[in-house]
Amino acid sequence: MRIFLLVAALGVMLAVSLSLAAYLWWDIGQVEMGIHGLIAMVLGALLSLLLGGGLMALVFYSHKRGYDDRQNRPGD
């Protein structure tokens, strides 16, 4: 029952955020963005995804190699 309530609450939050984003997107109107703005937006999104993926890869690598274990820390 708790998992169902959690999934339902998350689904409601997702639906509200998507509907708000769609409303704001259409409410902005005719905003024109040049090619430089589009390139900057795409590069920013790609670099953010690469940075997030790289940091998550480091977390998994560190955990797999045991660098996070307490007994491997010097001075403990």
Helical H runs in the chain? Answer: 2-28, 35-65
Residues 6+ apart with CB under 8 A from 25: none
The token pair that represents 40 in the structure block: 């900057």
Using the predicted structure, report yes or no on whether residue 67 has a pLDDT greater than 90: no
Domain locations in the chain? Answer: 1-29, 32-76
6-56 confidence digits (pLDDT tens): 999 999 999 999 999 999 888 887 778 899 998 999 999 999 999 999 999
35 vs 54: CA distance, rounded Å: 28
